[in-house]
Amino acid sequence: MENEKLEEIFLVLEDKLDKVVTVLKDEYQTIRAGRANPHILDRLQVEAYGGMSPLNQLGNVAVADARCLVISPWDKSLLKAIEKAILASNIGLNPTNDGNVIRLVFPELTEERRKELVKQVRRMGEDAKVAARNVRREAMDGIKKMKNGKEISEDEASNAEQDVEKDISKCMEELDKAVSAKEKELMTI
């Protein structure tokens, strides 16, 4: 491709598709699969010092064993606020506060809860596919504008559209792999 605008469209396309896959995988890390995973708390915001702060900036989160996370805040006065934030976050865990640390014990997932989580995983996967389709539409619109503005020929436009479809297909495969891997992780006991 000699055309700089066309190259730019493809750079933006690839960047956005990479982000779609990365965001989905990051979201999947916050879904618990019955094992203690500190990433489940990555998006947790705690009301501290007059504002909202991420939990990982207020203390250490450590894996005590396969089913238990231990949160050690640097400032013990934040224990109640952290406990409140965990309860409000709807992650399905009850914090235990002993005055020094907060323990989160991960119960065994029931079959029903596993199926709910799989539905959530599939929904997130569909949302990611919708985002990828939106990226495709943006790229196709850019190619159409260039074709209508006589910046590229019909053949160049056709080839570019085929290349966009190839990139989208690759992205969809990656998304499907991520969804099936997370489903498998959730359904294994």
Mind listing the domains of the chain with CATH numbers? Answer: 4-30+110-187 (1.10.132.20), 38-105 (3.30.1360.40)
In terms of pLDDT, which residue wins out, 176 or 55?
A: 176
pTM of this structure: 0.71
189, pLDDT greater than 70: no
User: Does the pLDDT value for residue 1 go beyond 50?
Assistant: no
Top-confidence residue, 32 or 117: 117
Q: What is the DSSP string of the chain?
A: ---HHHHHHHHHHHHHHHHHHHHHHHHHHTS--SS--GGGGTT-EEEETTEEEEGGGTEEEEEEETTEEEEEESSGGGHHHHHHHHHHTTSS--EEE-SS-EEEE-PPPPHHHHHHHHHHHHHHHHHHHHHHHHHHHHHHHHHHHHHHTTSS-HHHHHHHHHHHHHHHHHHHHHHHHHHHHHHHHHH--
The pLDDT of residue 90 is above 80: no
